[in-house]
A and B are shown apart, each in its own frame.
Chain A
C-alpha cells in the first residue's frame, strides 16, 4: 500500500507557496520601483527641458531687446542728428533740415522694418513721422517720454494696445539732447514703434522641440491682475486682452508674477494640468513661462505603466508554472520512491512467505529445471540450494518417470492437486508427499514455468493410523455406553410414566381439594346463618318469657331461663371462633415487613379498652422486626396478650414481658406473664381446638384462641411453643422465618 503524502510534503507545499507569494511580491515591488524611478526620470528630464527652453527664450528676448537698443543708440547721443533736429525745429519748413532728419530715421526704420518712427518736440507734439500717425500720440505716451527725459537714456516701453487703432506695439523712446557750451539741452524725443508680432512673438512662440502642448508665455503684472502679453498657442487675439486675477494661484502665470522661480506644477488658462518653468526677463517686468501639459510628459509613462504591469503578470505566471512544476516533480518523486519501497516490501513479503512454508516449494522451468527453492526443499532433499537450482526436478523423486508424467499433466491441465509421490533424501530416507503444482505466467500470460509444492505426509499417515485406532476404540466405548444409556433410558421412561401418574393424581387431588374448599366455604356461610337463627330465637323467646311471664315464674325457673340465655350466647361465640379458625386455612397471606413494637402497642390499647378495670403493664424489650401478614400476626399478639391478661386476673397488675431475638434463620418472639400458668403434663392439649386446661367457670373462653395462633404461625412457616409451671406464669414463644 502506498502511503499518502506525509505531513512533511504538506509543509513543503506550504513553503513552495510561500516562495511563490514572496517572489511575486518582490516582482510587484520591483515593478513599482522601476515605474516610480521612470516617473522621476521623466519629470526630471521635463524640468531640464522646460528650464532650458525658458532660459533660451529669455536669452532670445534679451538679445532682441539689446538689438533694439543698439538700433536706438544710433540715434541717441548722435550730435549730428541732434543738430539736424535742432535745425528742423528752428526751421520746420526747411526741406534740407527735414531731409537730414528723415535720412537717419528712414535708415533706422529700414534696418528692422519698424512700424513707424516719430519725432516729437519738447512738448510731446508730433513733429515728424515716417508713416502717417495721430497727432496726440506724444500726449498718450508722456509717461514713458518723461521717464526717458529724466533718465536721459533710451527707454523701451511695455507692450501696449493702441486704443484707437487696436494695434499692439511697444516703443523705444530716445531723448534727443544737444550739448552747447557744455550745457545739455533737451530738444525732443524720437519714438520707434515696434510691432511685437514681428520677430518677438514668433521667437517666443517657437518651441525648439516637437511637442503637442509646449508653449511659452510672456506675462506681466497689472495691478491685481496678470496680463498675458504674447500671442497664445491655444487662444487667438489674446495679447493684452487676456487677464487673470492674482487670486487664481494655481496658474503658473500668477505664480510667476508673485515671485515663483524654477519649475512648478499648476493649472493653465485652459484648466489643464501643466508643468512649467518660470524665468524673469531682466531689465523688465516681464516673466517668461515655458510650460507643457503633464499629460504629454507622462504619456510615455502610461504606456510604460501597462508594459510594467504586463511584465509583472508574465513573471508571476512563469514563476507559478515553475513552482507548480517543481511541486509536481517532487510529488511524483515521492510516490515513485514509495512505490519502489512497496515493491521491495512486496518482494520481501513474498519471499518470507515462501521461506516460511514448511512444505518444500520449487519453481521449475518449462524444461524441467529447478529455478528456485525454499529452505524446506533443502532439508527434505538434503541438498543445498546451489546443487538444486539448475538440476532436473524429477531426479529427487523415487519414481522420476512418474514425476515427469505429473509435470506434463500440469501443462495439460494447468494445475495438479494432491498427487501422491515420494521424495528421496541424499541419505536415502524416503518421504511420502502429496504433490501440488500449477503453471505460473508472466504479466502477458506467457507460461514461465511451474510452481510446485510437496506436502510431507509422513506425520499425516502416522496420525491417520493413530486416529483409526482411537476411532475403533471409541466406537467400542460408544457401543457400550449406548447400551448403558438404553438401560437408563428405559428406567427413566418408566419413572416418567410413574411421575405422570402421580401428577395426574395430584391434579385430581387438587381439584378435589378445591371442591372441598368451596364446599367448606358454603358450609361455613350456612353455619354462620343457619346455626345462629335458632339460637337467636331461643334467646328471643327466653327474653320474652322472662319479661312477660315474670310473675308466673319462681326464682329457680327465672334463673334457669337466664342460664338458657347465657348458654345461647356461649354457643354463638363458639360458632364465631370456629368459623374464624376454619377460615384461617383458606385466607390469603399478604407478606410485609412488620414493626412488632407498633403492633404490640396497638393490641395493648385495644385490650385496655376491652378490660378497662385491669392494670396492664406491658414491658416491650428488644424486638426485631418481623415479616408476615400484618392482620394475622396482630391476631396472634391479640390472642396471646388477651390470654395473658385473662390468666392474670387474680393479680392486681398483669405483668407482661415481651420481646424477640434472632436465632439461626428465624426470629423468635415471646410473651411472658405472671399469671396462673398451666401444668406441662397437659402441654400436648394446649394448642388443640376447643381444648381447655382451665375450668370454664374460672376462665371463660372457647378454647380456640391458641389453636388460631398455632394455625397462623404454621401458615407463616414458623413454630409455636410454651413453657409454664402452675402458678408461676407462662411464656409463649413463636418463631417467624427471618428475612434479610
Chain B
C-alpha cells in the first residue's frame, strides 16, 4: 500500500465494520488505514518506527476520529495532530456517539474540521459515511 486515503481511529470494531461496509456500499472504496486506539494512532503518525515514517507513506487525505478511545483518548490525539506542523493541515472529522456540548466545543477549539454524531439508525449511519467520504475525498481540496 503506498497511498492512504483515509485513516480511521476507532476502537469499536463493529463501528469499523459498519464504516468499511458503507465504503463498499458506496463503491468509492478508498484506501483506509485503521488504528484501534489513541496510542497506535500517535505512534504511527509521530514515531519514526510508525507507518508514515518507516514506509514513507504520504499523509492521509482524511482522518476519521472517535473520541472515546482507550489509553489516549481522541481529544488528545486531535491535540497532537493539530499542534504538529506536519499533520496540522490534514482534515480531521470527529465521528463520535457523544452529542455533549462540552465535546463539540473542545473539538472545534482544538481544530477539528468537522464534527458528526454517530446516528443510531444504520441507514443514516451508512448514509453519513458515504457523504463524508464523498465530500472530503472527492470534493474537498486539501492544503497539500
Contacts and interface: CB of A to CB of B under 8 A. Distances in A.
A587 to B, nearest CB: 12
Nearest to B19: A540
A565 B99 CA distance: 22
B14 A543 contact: no
A525 interface: yes
Interface in A516-548: 525, 528-529, 532-533, 535-537, 539-544
The size bracket of the interface on A is 10 to 19
B57 interface: no
Contact of B125 (A525, A528, A536): A536
B68 A529 contact: yes
A568 B124 CA distance: 14
B12 A533 contact: yes
Interface in A568-588: 568-569, 572
A655 B97 CA distance: 39
B97 A533 contact: yes
Interface string B53-82: 000000000000000100000000000000
Contact of B121 (A528, A541, A569): A569
- Please report whether the interface of chain A is mostly helix, strand, loop or mixed according to DSSP: helix
Interface string B29-45: 00000000000000000
Contact of A529 (B17, B18, B98, B123): B98
B98 A535 contact: no
B100 interface: yes
A539 B120 contact: yes
A543 B97 contact: no
B15 interface: yes
A190 to B, nearest CB: 161
A540 B97 contact: no
Interface string B108-132: 0000000000101111011000000
B21 A537 contact: no
A536 B100 contact: no
A563 to B, nearest CB: 14
A536 B97 CA distance: 10
A565 B122 contact: yes
Contacts of B18: 536-537, 540
Nearest to A534: B14
Contacts of A541: 14
Contact of B120 (A525, A536, A542): A536
Contact of B97 (A529, A539, A544, A569): A529
Nearest to B11: A533
Contacts of A529: 68, 97-98
Interface in B5-28: 12, 14-15, 17-18, 21
A532 B125 contact: no
A738 to B, nearest CB: 32
A71 to B, nearest CB: 157
Contacts of B120: 532, 535-536, 539, 568-569, 572
A542 B18 CA distance: 11
A544 B19 CA distance: 12
Nearest to A526: B68
B68 A536 contact: no
A532 B117 CA distance: 12
Interface in B84-117: 97-100
Nearest to B67: A529
A194 to B, nearest CB: 150
B94 to A, nearest CB: 14
Interface residues of B, number: 18
A628 B115 CA distance: 32
B23 to A, nearest CB: 13
B121 to A, nearest CB: 6
B122 A542 contact: yes
B122 A528 contact: no
B14 A528 contact: no
Which residue among A533, A541, A568 has the maximum number of chain B CB atoms within 10 Å of its CB? A533
Nearest to A568: B120
Contacts of A544: 21, 122
A324 B21 CA distance: 129
A386 B126 CA distance: 133
A544 B123 CA distance: 10
A541 B13 CA distance: 12
Nearest to A531: B97
B123 A537 contact: no
A6 to B, nearest CB: 87
A572 B125 CA distance: 14
A541 B18 CA distance: 8
Nearest to B100: A525
B68 to A, nearest CB: 5
B15 A543 contact: no
A540 B68 contact: no
Given A529-B68, A533-B97, A539 B122 contact: yes
A689 B15 CA distance: 32
Interface string A537-564: 1011111100000000000000000000
B105 to A, nearest CB: 15
Nearest to B103: A525
A525 to B, nearest CB: 7
B60 to A, nearest CB: 24
Contacts of A565: 122
Nearest to A544: B21
A539 B120 CA distance: 8
A569 B124 CA distance: 12
Contacts of B100: 525, 528
Contact of B14 (A525, A540, A542, A568): A540
B14 A537 contact: yes
A536 B122 contact: yes
A536 B123 contact: no
Which residue among B17, B21, B97, B122 has the maximum number of chain A CB atoms within 10 Å of its CB? B122
A533 B95 CA distance: 13
A541 B68 CA distance: 22
A536 B15 contact: yes
A540 B125 contact: yes
A569 B17 CA distance: 20
A533 B123 contact: no
Contacts of A569: 120-121
Interface string A688-718: 0000000000000000000000000000000
A702 to B, nearest CB: 14
Contacts of B121: 539, 569
A532 B14 CA distance: 12
Contacts of B21: 540, 544
A493 to B, nearest CB: 49
A499 B132 CA distance: 63
Nearest to B21: A544
B15 A528 contact: no
Interface of B: 12, 14-15, 17-18, 21, 68, 97-100, 118, 120-123, 125-126
Given A532-B118, A540-B17, 20 more contacts: A528-B97, A528-B100, A529-B97, A533-B12, A533-B97, A535-B120, A536-B14, A536-B18, A536-B97, A536-B120, A537-B15, A540-B18, A540-B122, A541-B14, A543-B126, A544-B21, A565-B122, A568-B120, A569-B120, A572-B120
A-B pairs, top 6 by smallest CB distance, nearest first, are: A543-B122, A537-B14, A572-B120, A539-B122, A540-B18, A540-B122
22 contacts: A525-B98, A525-B100, A529-B97, A532-B97, A532-B118, A533-B15, A536-B18, A536-B97, A536-B125, A537-B12, A539-B121, A539-B122, A539-B125, A540-B14, A540-B17, A540-B21, A540-B122, A541-B14, A543-B122, A543-B126, A544-B21, A572-B120
